[in-house]
């Protein structure tokens, strides 16, 4: 079994959404001070690094993190390379065979300097959500800080996905990942009432005998 770690490294260099709470980890008690143990503390936005959005992020009535069905986060996944495309449309995906994949991860390769928040990222046409629904795909993952344009306030992709009962995974690291099928595991923390959660995302490469 080969495990690909597709999670961003969390430290104080990771780029937060402009104006949002940065990630910070520090030791509050050191072993020397306490005579016994090191004890850390983290401060962070819920939308930091590799993370999921709960529907409550963009919809008052939407599910919160502790209510999310975990079946969506341990799934067969397909990685599709869309690097070089500024717009990812339903039309551009019509020939792709997704088989039994329940998650689709788009490798745009458009956010490589992860310590700098991007001004502009590739965008998805909302028709991609219909494409997912037709194929029974429940989760959309991206190697970008958002599934909508950075400057978007109305968040058409977030809402189209939410309305269709689909789930969102952002901030993946797919630099080294080849197109193909894998098992995705990306479980949110059980944070009561939350709008999002960092995840440790991995792709398990299926070994065939």
Ligand X SMILES: N[C@@H](CC(=O)c1ccccc1NC=O)C(=O)O
Q: Which residues are catalytic?
A: 57
Structure tokens at 122: 């590739």
Instruction: Consult the annotation and say whether 47 binds a ligand.
Output: yes
Task: Please give the helix or strand (H or E) that residue 185 lies within, else none.
Answer: strand 180-188
Looking at the Cβ atoms of 45 and 109, the one nearer to ligand X is 45
Instruction: Consult the annotation and say whether 192 binds a ligand.
Output: no
Whole-number minimum distance, CB 171 to ligand X, in Å?
9
- The DSSP symbol for 18 reads T
The one segment of 24-32, 59-67, 164-172, 178-186 that binds Zn ion by CB under 5 A: 164-172
Structure tokens at 26: 């520090």
Q: Which of residues 21-60 bind Zn ion (CB under 5 A)?
A: 47, 53
Whole-number minimum distance, CB 196 to Zn ion, in Å?
5
Instruction: Consult the annotation and say whether 51 binds a ligand.
Output: yes
Calculate ∠ Cα 88-91-93, nearest 5°.
70
Identify what 122 binds: Zn ion, ligand X, none; CB under 5 to 8 Å per kind: none
Q: How many CB atoms lie within 10 A of CB 179?
A: 13
Question: Measured between alpha carbons, how far is 16 from 170 in angstroms, rounded to an integer?
Answer: 13
Looking at the Cβ atoms of 18 and 84, the one nearer to ligand X is 18
The DSSP bridge partners found for residue 181 are 78
Instruction: Consult the annotation and say whether 170 binds a ligand.
Output: yes
Identify what 29 binds: Zn ion, ligand X, none; CB under 5 to 8 Å per kind: none
Question: Measured between alpha carbons, how far is 137 from 88 in angstroms, rounded to an integer?
Answer: 16
List residues near ligand X by CB under 6 A: 17, 20, 45, 47, 53, 146, 155, 170
Whole-number minimum distance, CB 170 to ligand X, in Å?
6
143 binds Zn ion (CB under 5 A): no
Reduced 3-state DSSP string for 46-99: CCCCCEEECHHHCCCCCCCHHHCCHHHHEEEEEEEECCCCCEECCHHHCCCCCC
Q: Which residues bind Zn ion (CB under 5 A)?
A: 47, 53, 146, 170, 196
């Amino acid at each position: 079994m080969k495990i690909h770690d597709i999670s961003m490294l969390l430290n104080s260099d990771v780029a937060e959404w402009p104006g949002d709470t940065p990630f910070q980890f520090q030791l509050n008690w050191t072993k020397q001070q306490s005579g016994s143990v090191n004890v850390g503390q983290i401060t962070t936005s819920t939308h930091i690094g590799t993370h999921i959005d709960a529907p409550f992020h963009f919809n008052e009535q939407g599910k919160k993190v502790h209510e999310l069905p975990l079946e969506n986060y341990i799934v067969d996944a397909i990685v599709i390379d869309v690097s070089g495309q500024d717009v990812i449309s339903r039309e551009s995906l019509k020939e792709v065979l997704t088989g039994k994949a329940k998650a689709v991860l788009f490798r745009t390769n458009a956010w490589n300097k992860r310590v700098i928040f991007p001004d502009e990222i590739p965008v998805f046409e909302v028709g991609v959500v219909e494409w997912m629904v037709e194929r029974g795909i429940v989760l959309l993952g991206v190697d970008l800080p958002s599934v909508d344009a950075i400057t978007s306030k109305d968040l058409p992709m977030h809402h189209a996905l939410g309305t269709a009962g689909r789930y969102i995974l952002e901030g993946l690291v797919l630099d080294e990942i080849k197109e193909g099928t894998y098992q995705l595991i990306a479980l949110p923390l059980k944070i009561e009432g939350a709008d999002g959660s960092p995840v440790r995302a991995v792709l398990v490469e299926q070994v065939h005998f």
